[in-house]
Structure formats: structure tokens, C-alpha cells
Amino acid sequence: MTSKYLRFNLLDYLPKTTTTKLDETMKHIFFFLTLSFTALSVQAQSSWFTNTSCSPHGTAIADEAFEALVNVERPMAIAMSKAALLIDEGCGIAKLVLANASGDSKQRLLDEAGAMSLSADEALWHGLLQMGQGWQQAATEIVESGNESPAFAYQSAWDAERGTVAANLEAFAAEYPDRAASAYNNLAYAYARATWGVEEVDMIKAMRYLDLYEQGHDGPNASDSRSEILWSAGERAGAWTAIRSAVDRGGNPSIYASRAGVIYRAMNEADLATAIHEKVSTFWGVLDAEGNKEARAALLAPSSSHCNSNMEACYKATKVEQLGKLPAGSEWLSFEVSDVDVTFNSDYSTAVATHMNTGQYKTDDGSVVDYKARASSVWSLDPLSGEWLLIHGNFAPSGGAGIPSTN
């Protein structure tokens, strides 16, 4: 499954699975505004930035937006930053969070932020957000200059030139315990996957950091991280329970539904394989039955490619074109699909079925030909309909003749 590591100020590098659901977010703006008054009481603990251009209420909401950003909850980050800008249009942190989380609109929003009256910290972050390589080292320079904002200390933790990322994150968590949630999240991945300076997988430490993460952050990403790490450890049942929690907490429609779908399909792999087997039999089981065309049509992708056992050139065809090619010119006396084996890709969105097709057909001159072909077919899960559709078929003679030539 795709990793969801946080590389703080370059959210563009994160998977796009977190970019949906934005239409829903503005519906909750007033809910977030209500939350902001609660956030004001929390603000006294420590803010991510020591100085901002925002009003007290704007600062409180923007700080929560930044917290969502570093915890890979992009829709929440966007919603909270927009909420902050609703009550304080000059809030630089909110504009910068919005830029960092907005994908294709990032540069435009950064340009808009550059025209605002930014605070010293906001101006520094604005500069980091416009960097490509080297932003980690630049963050370290900011910290070494005496800046005390946790935001820059956190970004500096990703500077591998001053120590391993894992060790840096642990040091950050120790210094800023009330801002350590995202560090705990990434440390869980570090120990689960032996990365960022961790030399060996240590699932005990990974789970310990996941527990700390959930204690410090009550958003859906905590459940999503637990699901992903449990999945990587082969704990499918636990991963399923955790991802369902993420879906429930993530709103409707949930940005975590895609991963939930992968886990659900994996847990039901045998049933999926049976379903693909049935589709293979339906599509090729009776080649010359006109009444079977409608059933076949429902299984074809809008466009598909085919390499037939008559050894003619492979071709691409629309659904209508392919249906017109299915009935062969000769009379089929028998046809059977057997030895079907189905395998799936890692996210269970594509299936490859291998099978043997055997039978007999009668040519125009009355000769009976034994047909035997080794076949493979590729099926793709349509994201809109949820149906498995045929996108490619490949056939080669195997101890018998192929289908009749069209020449």
C-alpha cells in the first residue's frame, strides 16, 4: 500500500488520496469556528509560531489548521485555514497553510501571501515553501539563528545532515511534547519500516509510538496510520478495524475510503477471484451465442485491446467493435474455459486471469478443427461503477489450432 509519510513543507510529495472531499469542508466552516473558541484555551500551551500577523481568534484557528497540515489531514487544514481567513482576512499563517495544502493552486496562493503584511515567522515560512531542495537545511539555519517557533524546529528535524531523521524527531518530541503528535506518527513509520535512520524493524516501538500519537491527536489520520502499519505487518483484521474508524471519523465522503476499499477487497480475495472466474466463463464460454452479447457487453471496458489465437495482429477496439468481432465465422461445436487462475495487483484494482480455452469448430468446408489456446485476460476495477471490466485479452495456440483466421 502507498505510504503516507509526512514531508512537512512539501505536501505536494504526498499521495493524492488526501485531495478529495474539499467540497464538503466549507459546509463545516461554522462548526470549525465554534471549535476555534475551544482552541483559544489550548493556544496558551504553545503555538506553532511565536509571532503571526493574525488576530487572537485567527491565530487560534490557523494554529489548528497547521496542526491538521502536519498530521496529513489536508481537508481539515484547508477548512480551518479558510475559517481563519473568514474572520481575519489578513491572517498570514492561514494563507500559507492554504497554499501548502492546495496542490495546483499553491503558487498562486503563495504569491497572494507574499503581498500580505507577514510577520517575521510567516515571512520565513513563506520562503521555505518556495524552496525545492534544501528546505530542511534552511529550516535548521533558522533554528540555529535563535528562532524558537516549534514549526521550524519540526521542519529542521527532517534535516538528515544534522543527525538521523528518527533521532531528530525524537529530540523534537522531547522538547515540544504538546506539539509532538506528528513526530510520533512518523516515528511509528520509521520503526515499522526501518527508515529515516532506524536500522531494523521494531514493531513494538512502532506500536508504542502509534499509541502516543493517538493520545496526542484525535483526528482520523491516527486511525489511518494504525491501519497502514498493521497492514504492513500482516495484521489484516486490525488494519480493517482501524481503517473503518478512520472512515467514520473522516466525514462523508471519506478520504480514507480508498484504502478501506483495498483492505476490504484483500480480505475477500477468494470471493473476488471467484467473481473474476465467473466473468471469464461468461465472456468466452459460448462464443457464437447471440443471446450472450448483452452479458458480454456489460463486462467490456469502453476500449480494450486483444491478441487472438489466429496469430493476427493485436488490435484495440471499442465495446461495440469488439462485440462485433466475438462470433467467429465458423460454427462452434463445443467450447470450454478451464484451469482459471486469478491474481491481483497490490491494491486489488487489477486482476489477471490465466485460463485454457478448448473446443471444436467446423470450418466452411465441413472440417472439424480441435481448438486449444492458452489465454490471459486483464480486468480493471472501474472506480465509478465498482464493476470489473475487461481491458485486455491475449490468446496463443497451445497444442491445437487457434480461432479461424479473418483473412
Residue 233 in domain: no
The identity of residue 48, as a single letter, is W
Give the burial class of 298: count Cβ atoms within 10 A of its Cβ; 0-12 exposed, 13-18 middle, 19 or more buried.
middle
Count up the domains in the chain and report the number: 2
Q: What angle do CA 387, 388, 390 make, to 5 degrees?
A: 135
Q: Are 81 and 95 in contact (CB under 8 A)?
A: yes
Residue range of the domain that includes 338: 269-397
- The verdict on 148 and 274 lying in the same domain is no
Residue 263 in domain: no
Residue 191 in domain: no
Residue-level pLDDT, tens digit, the chain, 407 residues: 434 433 333 333 233 333 334 344 444 444 444 444 444 444 445 799 999 999 999 999 999 999 999 999 999 999 999 999 999 999 999 999 999 999 889 999 999 999 999 999 999 999 999 998 999 999 999 999 999 999 999 999 999 999 999 999 999 999 999 999 999 999 999 999 999 999 999 999 999 999 999 999 999 999 999 999 999 999 999 999 999 999 999 876 678 998 999 999 999 999 999 999 999 988 877 655 565 777 888 898 999 998 877 777 888 888 877 766 544 456 778 888 899 999 999 999 999 999 998 888 888 778 888 888 889 999 999 988 999 999 999 988 887 666 666 65
**Reduced to 3 states, what is the DSSP secondary structure of residue 369?**
strand
Residue 143 in domain: yes
Give me the pLDDT at residue 361, please.
81
What's the alpha-carbon Rg for the chain, to the nearest Å? 28
Note the Cα 67 to chain centre separation in Å: 21
Reading the block at residue 389, the C-alpha cell is 471490466
Q: Are 176 and 46 in contact (CB under 8 A)?
A: yes
- The verdict on 12 and 143 lying in the same domain is yes
Give me the pLDDT at residue 308, please.
78
Q: Domain boundary at 132, 162, 192, which? A: 162
Q: What angle do CA 178, 5, 12 make, to 5 degrees?
A: 105
Q: Domain boundary at 162, 192, 212, which? A: 162
Q: Domain boundary at 104, 131, 162, which? A: 162
CA-CA distance, 93 to 115, in Å (whole number)? Answer: 13
Residue 249 in domain: no
CA-CA distance, 267 to 262, in Å (whole number)? Answer: 9
The DSSP bridge partners found for residue 341 are 354
The DSSP bridge partners found for residue 361 are 332, 369
Give me the pLDDT at residue 330, please.
64
Residue 309 in domain: yes
Q: Are 363 and 351 in contact (CB under 8 A)?
A: no
How far CA 249 is from CA of 22, 201, 220, in Å, comes to 16, 29, 5
Residue 322 in domain: yes
Give me the pLDDT at residue 24, please.
43
CA dihedral 346, 183, 65, 161 (to 10 degrees): -90
Reading the block at residue 122, the C-alpha cell is 510567516
- Give the CATH number of the domain where residue 381 resides: 3.10.450.50
Residue 342 in domain: yes
Q: Are 401 and 407 in contact (CB under 8 A)?
A: no
Q: Are 101 and 43 in contact (CB under 8 A)?
A: no
